[in-house]
Amino acid sequence: MPPTRIEVAASAGSYPIVIGSATLATLPQLLDDAGLGPRRVIVSSPTVWEFHGDAVKGAASEAEPILVPDGERHKNITTVGRVYDALIQIGADRSVVIIAVGGGVIGDLVGFAAATYLRGVRVVHVPTTLMAQVDSAVGGKTGVNHALGKNLIGAFHPPRLVVADPAVLATLPRREFRAGLYEVVKYGVIASPSLLDRVEASLPQLFKRDPDATVAVVAESCQIKARVVSADEHESGLRRTLNFGHTIGHAIEAVTKYKRFRHGEAVGYGMLAAMALGEDYGVTPAAARQRLDAVIAKLGPLPPVVDLSASEVLAAIGRDKKIVAGTLHFVAATAIGATTTVSDVTEKHLRRALKAIGIQ
């Protein structure tokens, strides 16, 4: 089938997401068609390069990629500095195009490097995880973690092109693939009951990495995100809905020092807690909470959280970047497919929500 092409509006100009099998083979042509060249540098991680380097190296003008360590604990200013060092050493100027090949961590930190090197150079995303294909590669959010909080240092810097090939997902461990499905589930909860139905009905095909099943959920997730970020690029209103499950999810990641949970797993817990909080708050129907509980249960067990401290999680929430003028904007579901933002959530609400997922 021909690839799916989705246009995303951005202040710097619209850009396409190209989704489909064998799209990596056409990467050089896609870059040419987008007018992105001639100097191109790939940034990736050693593991990703071992799996996918042969498929993408023809898109670069530089003979060697810039390889940096992967994983949330390496998503920091130190790793970004390694990208700067490499770019300076090869004499990269403002004409350079940086191609980020990897998962969400690589995409976020390379995007931030591109946003800040020489005050901004062009970046292209080639996401190699389900999480990155459905979420982090789209929308222009870039950033790195601080020891006290996730993504506290960053910039909005939209890419010029995103190329998502489901074939690369075949190399993902099952746990990593499942982590990406939690983000797909999020899109179903906030915007599309039919997507949630599709995920639940096609789980066997998805876990087998069936291309048709995978392309369908990636494309619909990207369509939802493209629609949201095109309307609200800098998260002043509508885009906050994409944070469903992330307030508590990010806090769980921070208190475990980004070592225990995949991002999607933390978001899975965050969504369960958000449903419990919304029901407690009086905006989430019990049926919606039960629906999400059932779908997440079918995805497989989440890592335990019973040893975490609610007080530490609450402290991490207090440093969340979604707090504006001292007010936490918390996204709650009003139904499967619809959300609202509440701004007067109390510590008691949060503690009860954490207790509902096993954190006391």
Is residue 235 predicted with pLDDT exceeding 90? no
* Type and span of the H or E element at 51: helix 46-56
Region of residue 54 (phi > 0: left; psi between -120 and 50: alpha; otherwise: beta): alpha
Is residue 237 predicted with pLDDT exceeding 90? no
Q: Report the distance separating Cα 247 and Cα 148, nearest Å.
A: 14
- At 239 the three-state DSSP class reads helix
pLDDT value of residue 268: 98
Give the residue numbers marked as catalytic: 119, 141, 183, 225, 235, 239, 243, 246, 250, 263
Place of tokens 């990269």: 92
Judged by average pLDDT, the poorest of 41-50, 91-100, 117-126, 341-350 is 341-350
State the average pLDDT over residues 275-296.
96
Average pLDDT, the chain: 94
pLDDT tens-digit profile of 248-259? 999 999 999 988
CB atoms inside a 10 Å sphere around CB 17 = 26
Judged by average pLDDT, the poorest of 19-23, 224-228, 238-242, 320-324 is 320-324
Which of 37, 237, 14, 253 lies closest to 140, judged by CA?
14
Cα-flanking dihedrals φ and ψ of residue 92, to 5°? Answer: -65, 130
* Partners of 153 in beta bridges: 144
pLDDT category, 233, cuts 50, 70, 90? confident
pLDDT category, 238, cuts 50, 70, 90? confident
pLDDT value of residue 12: 84
Is residue 214 predicted with pLDDT exceeding 90? yes
Paired tokens of 223: 């369509």
Which amino acid, 99? I
Domains of the chain: 4-171 (3.40.50.1970), 174-208+210-356 (1.20.1090.10)
pLDDT category, 322, cuts 50, 70, 90? low
pLDDT tens-digit profile of 28-85? 999 999 999 899 999 999 999 999 999 999 999 888 999 999 988 899 999 999 999 9
Is residue 97 predicted with pLDDT exceeding 90? yes
pLDDT value of residue 343: 86
pLDDT value of residue 327: 72
pLDDT tens-digit profile of 143-198? 999 888 788 899 999 999 999 999 999 999 999 999 999 999 999 999 999 999 99
Identify the DSSP state of 75: -
Which of 247, 237, 140, 228 lies closest to 187, judged by CA?
228
CB-based burial label for 58 (10 Å; 0-12, 13-18, 19+): exposed
